[in-house]
């Protein structure tokens, strides 16, 4: 492959050499150019063929490797597991025998439920990202165990040294942030009549309901979670560069306050920073103007583009802290330093008897995750003044 690439480069150089400095080509030069172009086309076709073959070989190698190292997530993507899971969701474990039972057992989790099929989980993740805005801007990782993240809290320093003077030493200082796993979940109830209806798309219904409930729970915890038995929310830490507004009994906010917040964040983090606030705070800020009588809040000019404040995008969440006297109501920071750690998959367990008296079947869903601010200095905030 390398020889072909080098040959192509050589032919390009020959064409350039033949054409440079000439206003026109004589018959001999034209014949040389035609031959070089033909050789170039031939080499180009060989390169494309080699690339295609390499891709096919890589794909075959991947398939062979996967067949010797199967995982639950790969098994979940096959049709027999999905069919077995649908059968289990409608009729229960006792209705499964033979191959379907064997297929379903592949996805047994540690607590007696079953890992949902990959396509099902993808639907839930899509709904989470649609309803919960944090997953689109935060750093999301998947991990099988607690994750310890080293954080450089001081880089040390250099200094100018006099001639023949001694060099000083200054070591960096590291801290550590640990991301664990907090269990989240609940129960979705479905009537027996719907389960018996073959035209009712049970998978889509459960994915939508469970997905939205997970999304609402996550959005609340990612905003105001305490970090104890739940993720740490962005409004929970005390940021060293917090800006406090003037003393007020009305939880007001001024244009200058937002400019102060913007510049209180380190310049290295501003270019990737995002504003986060409650809808009530957004309502206050939408009315603010700068010295040139221009609104600080600028709407996105095209579909899909976010609104901006001072050129940086805005996330509005109903779960963010509302404006109030002495309350922190605005966060501004680089959301890539807020890390969400997901453990493996979403699991589901059918509860046949618990709601039988009401003609319903329950489905228990659970997942585990954690989230924390990894670097405090990548965020700043605005706190309203205390009551006068």
In a domain, 61, yes or no: yes
Domain count, the chain: 2
> What is the pLDDT at residue 105?
45
| CATH code where residue 218 lies | 3.90.1690
In a domain, 127, yes or no: yes
Which of 38, 68, 98 terminates a domain? The answer is 68
Please indicate, yes or no, whether residues 131 and 266 belong to a single structural domain of this protein: yes
Please indicate, yes or no, whether residues 41 and 144 belong to a single structural domain of this protein: no
Please indicate, yes or no, whether residues 192 and 272 belong to a single structural domain of this protein: yes
Please indicate, yes or no, whether residues 251 and 199 belong to a single structural domain of this protein: yes
> What is the pLDDT at residue 271?
92
In a domain, 120, yes or no: yes
Please indicate, yes or no, whether residues 207 and 341 belong to a single structural domain of this protein: yes
Please indicate, yes or no, whether residues 140 and 246 belong to a single structural domain of this protein: yes
Give pLDDT < 50 ranges for the chain.
Answer: 63-77, 100-107, 109-112
Please indicate, yes or no, whether residues 187 and 55 belong to a single structural domain of this protein: no
> What is the pLDDT at residue 266?
93
In a domain, 200, yes or no: yes
Other C-beta atoms lying within 10 Å of the C-beta of residue 211: 24
Integer Cα distance of 333 and 335 in angstroms: 6
Please indicate, yes or no, whether residues 64 and 116 belong to a single structural domain of this protein: no
In a domain, 192, yes or no: yes
pTM: 0.67
> What is the pLDDT at residue 83?
64
Domain that holds residue 63: 2-19+30-68
In a domain, 174, yes or no: no
């Amino acid at each position: 492959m390398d020889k072909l690439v080098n040959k192509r480069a050589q032919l390009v150089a020959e064409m350039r050499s033949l054409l440079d400095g000439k206003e026109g080509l004589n018959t001999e030069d034209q014949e040389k150019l035609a031959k070089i172009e033909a050789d170039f086309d031939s080499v180009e076709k060989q390169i494309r063929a080699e690339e295609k073959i390499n891709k096919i070989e890589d794909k075959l190698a991947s398939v062979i490797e996967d067949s010797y190292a199967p995982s639950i997530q790969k098994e979940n993507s096959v049709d027999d597991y999905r069919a077995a899971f649908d059968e289990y969701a409608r009729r229960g474990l006792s209705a499964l025998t033979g191959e379907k039972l064997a297929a379903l057992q592949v996805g047994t989790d540690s607590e007696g439920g079953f890992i949902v099929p990959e396509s099902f989980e993808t639907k839930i993740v899509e709904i989470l990202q649609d309803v919960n805005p944090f997953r689109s801007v935060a750093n999301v990782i998947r991990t099988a165990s607690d994750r310890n993240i080293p954080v450089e809290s001081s880089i040390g320093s250099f200094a100018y040294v006099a001639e023949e003077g001694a060099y000083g030493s200054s070591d960096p200082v590291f801290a550590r942030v640990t991301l664990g796993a907090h269990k989240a979940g609940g129960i979705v109830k479905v009537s027996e009549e719907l389960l018996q209806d073959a035209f009712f798309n049970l998978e889509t219904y459960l994915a939508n309901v469970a997905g939205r409930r997970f999304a609402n729970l996550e959005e609340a915890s990612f905003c105001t979670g305490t970090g104890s038995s739940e993720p740490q929310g962005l409004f929970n830490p005390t940021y060293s560069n917090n800006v406090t507004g003037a003393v007020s009994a009305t939880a007001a906010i001024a244009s200058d306050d937002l400019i102060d917040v913007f510049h209180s964040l380190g310049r290295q983090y501003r270019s990737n920073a995002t504003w986060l606030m409650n809808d009530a705070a957004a309502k206050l800020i939408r009315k603010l103007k700068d010295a040139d009588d221009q609104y600080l809040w600028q709407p996105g000019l095209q579909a899909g583009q976010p609104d901006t404040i001072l050129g940086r995008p805005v996330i509005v969440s109903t779960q963010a802290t509302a404006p109030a006297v002495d309350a922190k109501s605005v966060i501004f920071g680089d959301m890539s330093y807020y890390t969400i750690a997901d453990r493996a998959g979403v699991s589901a367990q059918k509860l046949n008897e618990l709601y039988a008296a009401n003609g319903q079947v329950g489905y228990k869903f659970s997942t585990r995750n954690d989230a924390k601010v990894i670097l405090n200095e990548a965020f700043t905030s605005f706190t309203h003044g205390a009551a006068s």
